[in-house]
Amino acid sequence: MGTLPQRYTEPADEARRALVRAIVADGGLRDPAWRLAFEEVPRHLFVPYYYVPVPARPGRPGGWERLWGEDPDPVRRERWLRGAYTDGPLATRVRDGALLSSSSQPSLMARMLDALEVRYGDRVLEIGAGSGYHAALLCHRLGDARVTTVDLDPEITESARAHLAAAGYRPAVVTGDGTRGVPGRAPFDRIVATCTLPVIPHDWLAQCRPDARIIAPVSTGLVVLRVRDDGRGRFAEGRFLRTPAYFVPLRGAGGNPALRPRGLPGRAVENELFRFLLALTAGSLDPHEALSLWQRERRPRRDRFGITVGERLQWAWLDDPGGPYVWPLGDAVPG
């Protein structure tokens, strides 16, 4: 299961401590309890093998190279270990050249967990089991019984369960459609998604306690929602963090929209913040309207945008959920 021989334990521990120091230096892991989790949960157990991209060359197409912890070549084993503790995402499952699952960038995980604002006794649902590493961090903080992770692919949940057990953690690992949540384990105080969503699934709100917190990647950002009851029904609302976030899309939830529409200035299309707005408004605003909004509002950062989710409707907004700049997400219409 990717466990290291005794002679490799010390290098792994030092690599893990170096990773934590780098995340802290960059402003992450402000909560000491999360810092301890990153220091003590061994990431290499969750990536016994992973794939690194191989660039295309003349006469040779690009592809993926597999690195694994039991490679007979000591140089490649060292590459595997060093890569397991770099601050970057790791491709853990590739099929027909397409990336299906990955272990997210540790510093991004740290920012998400900080923003989750867990409290003692919270029950957490994770959407997208991945390698199991993120669930292990949650288990370290909250205990196995309070953590549920779900994924659509039975191969992913099987491997995540095995990785978690190898590291000494046994949360509930469920094979199922993450857009439907896990009603049998509800209610939840926190929901965190580790895959990109086109909209926020309404089923999640019904499985949340009042005042629950949801963090999910939408477009290329992370939205933080607070779930509330207003007397007329359940709704959730909140803003995006400034942090950019790129995840594997949630399967079954629709693909990402094209981010290179024709007829727009190349400088704008290459701007990372404008591409965020393009993805957030896809299907609702004409790309040229989105460009006019972006220019008129002086290239707004992510944290000026937010999302409101009602019982049936949901919409994104700039600055104020009541307008003047609002647009529907998915098939929803602002009410």
Which of 103, 104, 107, 131 is flagged as catalytic? Answer: 104
Residue 311, pLDDT score: 79
Residue 6, pLDDT score: 45
In the chain, pLDDT over 70 holds for what percent of residues? 92
In terms of pTM, does the model score above 0.85? yes
Superfamily of domain 6-244: Vaccinia Virus protein VP39 (3.40.50.150)
CA distance 276 to 208: 28
Would you tell me how many other CB atoms lie within 10 Å of the CB of residue 313? 17
**Mean pLDDT along residues 297-326:** 94
CA 131 from centroid of its chain's CA atoms: 12
Alpha carbon separation from 186 to 124, 125, 190 (Å, rounded): 9, 9, 10
CA distance 197 to 210: 22
| Domain ranges, ordered by start, for the chain | 6-244, 266-328
Whether 103 is catalytic? no
Tens of pLDDT, residue by residue over 150-200, are 999 999 999 999 999 999 999 999 999 999 999 999 999 999 999 999 999
* Beta strand extents in 205-304 (DSSP E only): 208-218, 221-229, 234-244
Residue 261 has pLDDT above 80, yes or no: no
